[in-house]
Amino acid sequence: MKALVVLAAGLGVPGVLPALLVARRWAPAVFLAPLIGAGLAALAAVTELGLGGSLPVNYAVVAVIANLAVIAWWRMARYSVRSWAGPSWGWPVATVAFVLACLAIPLTALRSPMIGWDANTMWLTKALMAYGGHHELLAGLQNPAYQYSNPDYPPLLPATGALAFSLFGLGDLHLFVDVTALLNACALGVLGAGVAAAGSTGRLPARVAAVISAGAICLVGFALSGWWGVVGYADLLWAAAAAAAVIWGLVLPKGTQALGIAWTCAAVASLTKNEGLTTALVIFALIALRYQLVTLPGRSLRSWAERAALAGAPALPGLAWAGLVRVLGIHDNFFLATTTESTATRVQATIAGMATHLAVAPVALAVLLAGSWLLRRDREHALLANPVWLWLSCLGSLTIIFATYVFGGDEIHWWLTNSVDRTTIFAQLLLYSDLAIWLVVAADTASARAGRQCVTEVPADLVESVAGRHRRLPAQRVSGPSGA
Amino acid sequence: MGERLRGMGKRADAAWIAAAAVVALGLSVHHEVQLTAAALTPGQITSQTAAYRQEECLYRAIRSQVPKDAAVYITSPPAAPPTERLSELSTLWAELKANRAAARWTLTLVSARGHCDGEALEVHRI
C-alpha cells in the first residue's frame, strides 16, 4: 500500500502541472496527473528504444521538458491560478472523494498477490527489458525467442513498471501489477469525472445522480474487466482511457478543457496497446470532425495546415512507437501465422464471440432510442453532444477489432476464447457510460417542476464552448421546465 | 392543466429511462463487489500467495544456477507448462536463444517435490 502511494506520487508529481494546464480544474486533474506521468514514461521508453539511454534518465529529461513547456505556455497565455480553480470547490471535492472511495473497493483485491499470464509473459517481461536500458530493450524486442510476447505492443505499461523497479528495485515483481491497477483506477477516475461533469449544469438531483454515476462507472469498469483489471493486464487501461476520451471529447460540451483531456486520454490509450492505438485514431478523427478542426473552411492554406497539424499532433506519440518498431523489424504474432479457416467460419465465430460480451447493447440501444425520442431537448439543454458521436466511436472500435479477428492468423476459436472478453471492454464501458449520461439527463428532467425556474451556475468552460453558437451567453443559465 | 399533465408525463418517461440505467449500472456494480470479495477469500489469497512464492523461487533459482549473460535455450517436456514462464523469469539475467544450437545451457521446468512448490528448474550444460 505504501509503495502504491509512493508510485502514485512518483508518477503524479511530474504530471501535475501538465494536468492542471490541460484540465484547468482539479477534479479530473487529480486522476489525469498520474496518467500523464505514465505517458511521459512511455515517451521516455520511445527515446530509450530509438535513441538510447536508460529509462530513469530519459524520463527525467522528458518530464523536465514537458513541465518547462507548460510553464512557458502558462506565462505566454497569462493564465491565472483562479482560472484553474473552476467555479466552485464543493462538487469537485465531493466527486473526487466519492470516486476515490469507489475505486478503493476493487483495489483492495491487490491484497491477493495475483499475476495474470499475459501480465507475466508480455508486460512484466518488457518492463524488465525497459529497466535494463537501451541495449536490453532493443535486443529483447528483436529476439525471436520473445516473439510470443507480441514485442511490438506500445510501451506505456512496461515503461511505468520499469520506473517502479527503478524506485523500489527488483525485490518484488508484483509491484508491476500494483502499477497497472493504479493506472486502471486513474483512467476510470478521469472517465468518472467526465460523467460527473455531465451533471454540472443540472439541478441538484442531477448533480447528485452525476456524482453517484461517476463512482458507479468506475466500479463497472473493474466489473467488466473481471480480474484482468487487478492482475496486470493492459486492456482495462486502454479501454478506460479511450472511453474517457470519448466522454470528454465527444459527449461533454465543446471547450479547450474538454478537448485537452480527451486528447490526453486518447494519447494514453494509443501508447498502451495496439487496439488502443487504432481506437484512439478513430477517436482523434471523430473529435477533429466534431470540433471542425479540419473541415471548417480556412481563410488560407496555412491556417488549414495548422489546424490539421493540431488535430494530428496528439496521435504522434502512438504513431511514433508504431513506426519505430516497424523500422526495427519488430512484429506481433497475430499476422505472422497463416489461417486455414475460411473467412465465413471466422466471421461467424467472431460475431458469436463478440455478441456474448455485448449483452448490455440491447439495453443501451433501447435507452438511446427512448432518450433520443423523449429527452432529446433536455440533452441539448444540458449542452451535451448528440449520442451518435459516442456510438460511432464504439462501432468504429468494434469494426477494427472484428476485422483483426477475421483477417488475423491465429486459430479463431482459441483466439476468441483467450481475448474477446478483454477486447470488448471498451465497447461495453462506453455503452455503460452512455447509460450513465442518460441517467443524469433523466434525473434532471424528472426533478423539474412545471412552471418552476431553476438557476444554475455555468462553468466558464461551458460558456466558452457555446460562445461560438450564441454570441453572448450570460454567466448564469435560466432554465424553465424540462425541455423548455 | 394540459401543461401540468405534459410535465408529469415527461417526468414519468424520464423516470423509466433512469430506472433502466440504474438497473444496468447497479447489476454491474453488484458484480464488481462480488468479484472483489471472491478475490479476497482466505483460500484465494493462500493459493495466489503460493503461486507468487513459486514464481519468486524460480526467479531466484535461475539467478543461482545459471551464469550471468549465459546463452540459454528453454525446453519444455511433453505435457508440461509452456516455456514462456522461464523466458520471462530469465529476462535481464540470461540471453535467450531461439534455437538450441546457439545456446550453451538448457533450462527446463520439471515437476519435483519440495522445490519451488512442486516445480523445479533443471539446468543442463550443452
- Per residue in A101-149, pLDDT (tens digit) is 999 999 999 998 888 888 888 899 999 999 999 999 999 999 988 888 8
Q: Any long-range contacts for B119-123 (C-beta under 8 Å, 24+ apart)? A: B119/B54, B119/B58, B120/B61, B121/B58, B121/B61, B121/B62, B121/B65, B121/B86, B123/B65, B123/B66
Cα–Cα distance list, A294 to A22, A291, A303, A307, A373 (Å): 21, 8, 10, 6, 31
φ and ψ at residue A341, rounded to 5 degrees: -85, 155
**DSSP SS3 for A414:** helix
Query: Between A and B, how many residue pairs show a Cβ–Cβ distance under 8 A?
Result: 170
Partners of B56 on chain A (C-beta within 8 Å) are: 173
The model's pLDDT over A250-293, given as tens digits with 9 standing for 90+, comes to 999 999 899 999 999 999 999 999 999 999 999 999 999 998 87
Domain span including residue A46: 2-297+306-479
pLDDT at A478 (0 to 100): 34
A226: left (phi over 0), alpha (psi -120 to 50) or beta: left
Contact between residue A266 and residue A242 where contact means Cβ atoms under 8 Å apart: yes
pLDDT at A75 (0 to 100): 85
Q: Concatenated DSSP letters for A176-241?
A: HHHHHHHHHHHHHHHHHHHHHHTTTTS-HHHHHHHHHHHHHHHHHHHHHHGGGGGTT-SHHHHHHH
Q: How deeply is A75 buried, as exposed, middle or buried, from its count of CB atoms within 10 A (0-12, 13-18, 19+)? A: exposed
Closest CA relative to residue A273, chosen from A418, A126, A172: A126
| A62: closest CA of chain B, how far (Å) | 25
**Do B18 and A219 count as a contact with CB atoms less than 8 A apart?**
no
pLDDT tops 90 at residue A183:
yes
Specify the range with the lowest mean pLDDT, choosing from A124-138, A323-337, B86-100.
Answer: A323-337
What is the CA A414 to chain-centroid distance, rounded? 28
**DSSP SS3 for A132:** coil
In a domain, A484, yes or no: no
Specify the range with the lowest mean pLDDT, choosing from A229-238, A368-377, B7-16, B85-94.
Answer: B7-16
pLDDT at A83 (0 to 100): 53
In a domain, A199, yes or no: yes
**Do A374 and B44 count as a contact with CB atoms less than 8 A apart?**
no
Q: Which residue of A has its CA nearest to B39?
A: A109
| B103: closest CA of chain A, how far (Å) | 12
Q: Which three cell numbers stand for residue A484?
A: 423548455
pLDDT tops 50 at residue A480:
no
ipTM (interface predicted TM): 0.90
The model's pLDDT over A378-418, given as tens digits with 9 standing for 90+, comes to 999 999 999 999 999 999 999 999 999 999 888 899 999 99
pLDDT at A466 (0 to 100): 43
Mean pLDDT of chain A: 87
pLDDT at A58 (0 to 100): 96
Choice between B83 and A312, residue whose per-residue pLDDT is larger: A312
pLDDT tops 70 at residue A86:
no
User: Would you tell me how many other CB atoms lie within 10 Å of the CB of residue B120?
Assistant: 18
CA distance B55 to B64: 14
- Which run of H or of E encompasses A302? helix A301-312
Contact between residue A237 and residue A183 where contact means Cβ atoms under 8 Å apart: yes
Closest CA relative to residue A11, chosen from A192, A162, A210, A150: A162
**Do B32 and A146 count as a contact with CB atoms less than 8 A apart?**
no
Q: Which residue of A has its CA nearest to B27?
A: A220
Q: Smallest Cβ distance to A360: which of B24, B26, B49?
A: B24
Partners of B96 on chain A (C-beta within 8 Å) are: 143, 145-146
**Do B92 and A360 count as a contact with CB atoms less than 8 A apart?**
no
Go through chain A and tell me how many residues it has. Answer: 484
Once rounded to an integer, what is the mean pLDDT over residues B14-32?
A: 96
Most confident of A111-120, A218-227, A302-311, B97-106: A218-227
pLDDT at A165 (0 to 100): 93
In a domain, A411, yes or no: yes
pLDDT at A457 (0 to 100): 42
| A171: closest CA of chain B, how far (Å) | 9
Domain locations in chain B? 1-40, 58-125
Partners of A111 on chain B (C-beta within 8 Å) are: 40, 45
Q: Give, to the nearest 10 degrees, the angle between helix A2-23 and helix A156-168.
A: 130
Q: How confident is the model at residue A295 (pLDDT cuts 50, 70, 90)?
A: low
pLDDT tops 60 at residue A87:
no
Once rounded to an integer, what is the mean pLDDT over residues A189-208?
A: 93
Q: Smallest Cβ distance to B36: which of A108, A117, A224?
A: A108
pLDDT at A456 (0 to 100): 43
Once rounded to an integer, what is the mean pLDDT over residues B56-72?
A: 93
Q: Smallest Cβ distance to B10: which of A147, A360, A483?
A: A483
CA angle, corner A384, sides to A382 and A386, nearest 5?
130
- Interface test with chain B among A172, A219, A430, by most B beta carbons within 10 Å: A219
**Do B21 and A120 count as a contact with CB atoms less than 8 A apart?**
no
* Number of structural domains chain A divides into: 1
**Do A115 and B22 count as a contact with CB atoms less than 8 A apart?**
no
Q: How confident is the model at residue A474 (pLDDT cuts 50, 70, 90)?
A: very low
Contact between residue A220 and residue B29 where contact means Cβ atoms under 8 Å apart: yes
Q: Are strands B105-116 and B95-96 parallel, antiparallel or unpaired?
A: unpaired
What percentage of chain A carries pLDDT values higher than 90? 67
In a domain, A129, yes or no: yes
